[in-house]
Amino acid sequence: MKSNTLGIIGGGQLGMFTCIAAKKIGVRTVVFSTEKNFSAKMFCDDFFIGDFDNVNKVDKFINSAGFFTVETENISKQILRKIQKKKKLFPSSEIIEIAQNRLKEKKFLNTIQDIKTTNFLEINNFEQLKIGVSKFNFDCILKTQEMGYDGKGQQKVDRNNLTKFKNLDLSNHILEEKVKFKLEISVIVVKSNDDIVVYPPVQNLHKDSILRETIYPAKISKSILQKSEMMACKISDALNLNGVLAVEMFITMNDEILINELAPRPHNSGHWTIDSCSYSQFDNLVSLIMNGKIHSPKPFNNCKMINIIGNDYLRIKDIEAKFKCYDYFKKEIRPSRKMGHYVIFE
């Protein structure tokens, strides 16, 4: 059965939707979760709950499936490499290691011809921060190199608050110049060794660094659409991707495209594909891993995907009565936590 079993590292909503996609084509799923109550629990065929430093439990997990994927890039390099030595991991640990470190990711992106990011500097102490903030005209964001998502591990730095960083440990940080942009978009690519499909660009609305809404199709020109898709494909080629990749981008005031972040896994901005494409990002990921085949997305509905965040979850029954809605089955409501999402069709 191992040859027909997919191991998923992480049991949140991305793992949940991956389990649902797997079940549609008769693939078993086993999840490793560090939390007792996790979104995928009701949808997977088996699971392990524990910490990654539990060698015995991790080994049992690795032995339980023939193929593996991740729902987050924030996983120990040692665990990823251990899996890859024994089984097939999608995407490779090398790709995940690039995406889990902001400095490594930005350096990599800027080595690709015609690909640019915002200006950035490596920061390890307050003196470097002072110099960097001045260079970026006191309009910048300080971020941890690792373990940052949904606004975590990042702070604005300006003239008024610079001194508060003086006595902090600033090792392994990155300073990014803030960029003025018209809108944010993302492009999702699914690539095998022999084939590639691209989901068309979507427009993303963030608040406090958390995705609130995704709109398909993005309100962009044809030239921006074509260029953004080309850039996403070029990045996936440079990574030698075998899996799914979300590429977040800024469209600047003069229509330049800057790459913001990479996610080598299904992405929140791709949830619209579940209801508005013949093959969702999750369908294609599972098909690629288990069958070596990927399919054209074939979008058939314009739509808007809206995240249910924090206390918005208290009105989920009202939302379910009006819209196509997904509950992530999370026990604890937290202010910035994604609790579900719903889709409005246009």
User: In this structure, what CATH number is given to the domain that contains residue 7?
Assistant: 3.40.50.20
Q: Both 173 and 190 in a single domain?
A: no
Q: Both 191 and 258 in a single domain?
A: yes
Give the model's pLDDT for residue 147: 72
Within 164-292, where are the H helices?
222-239, 273-276, 281-291
Q: Both 9 and 43 in a single domain?
A: yes
Q: Could you tell me the two tokens for 204? A: 């993303």
Sequence-ordered list of residues with C-beta below 8 angstroms from that of 75, at least 6 positions apart, any chain:
9, 10, 52, 96, 100
Give the model's pLDDT for residue 159: 84
Q: Both 47 and 86 in a single domain?
A: yes
Give the model's pLDDT for residue 158: 83
Q: Both 185 and 171 in a single domain?
A: no
Is 95 among the domain residues? no
Is 43 among the domain residues? yes
Closest by CA position to 247, among listed 109, 70, 72: 109
Q: Both 185 and 297 in a single domain?
A: yes
Domain that holds residue 139: 119-177
Closest by CA position to 233, among listed 225, 17, 70, 271: 225
Is 340 among the domain residues? no
Q: Both 163 and 68 in a single domain?
A: no
Q: Both 147 and 74 in a single domain?
A: no
- Helical packing angle, 13-24 and 281-291, nearest 10°: 60
Give the model's pLDDT for residue 148: 63
Is 333 among the domain residues? no
Is 110 among the domain residues? no
Give the model's pLDDT for residue 151: 57
User: In this structure, what CATH number is given to the domain that contains residue 138?
Assistant: 3.30.1490.20
Q: Both 22 and 77 in a single domain?
A: yes
Is 215 among the domain residues? yes
Residue 59 backbone dihedrals phi, psi, to 5 degrees: -65, -40
**Peptide bond between residue 200 and the one before it cis (omega within 30 degrees of 0):** no
Is 99 among the domain residues? no
Task: Look up the pTM and report it.
Answer: 0.95
Q: Quick check: 339 and 213 in contact, CB under 8 A?
A: no
User: In this structure, what CATH number is given to the domain that contains residue 264?
Assistant: 3.30.470.20
Is 133 among the domain residues? yes
Give the model's pLDDT for residue 237: 97
Number of structural domains (the chain) is 3
Report the Cα 203 to chain-centroid distance in Å: 15
Q: Both 187 and 169 in a single domain?
A: no
Please calculate the CA angle 113-117-118 and round it to the nearest 5 degrees: 145
Q: Both 186 and 281 in a single domain?
A: yes
Q: Both 170 and 188 in a single domain?
A: no
Q: Report the distance separating Cα 24 and Cα 157, nearest Å.
A: 48
Residue 312 backbone dihedrals phi, psi, to 5 degrees: -60, -25
pLDDT tens, position by position, for the chain (346 residues)? 578 999 999 999 999 999 999 999 999 999 999 999 999 999 999 999 999 999 999 999 999 999 999 999 989 999 999 999 999 999 999 999 999 999 999 999 999 999 999 999 999 999 999 999 999 988 899 999 987 665 567 888 888 888 888 888 899 999 999 999 999 999 999 999 889 999 999 999 999 889 999 999 999 999 999 999 999 999 999 999 999 999 999 999 999 999 999 999 999 999 999 999 999 999 999 999 999 999 999 999 999 999 999 999 999 999 999 999 999 999 999 999 999 999 999 8
Q: Quick check: 28 and 45 in contact, CB under 8 A?
A: yes
Last residue of a domain, one of 133, 157, 177: 177
Farthest CA pair distance, the chain: 60
Give the model's pLDDT for residue 162: 87
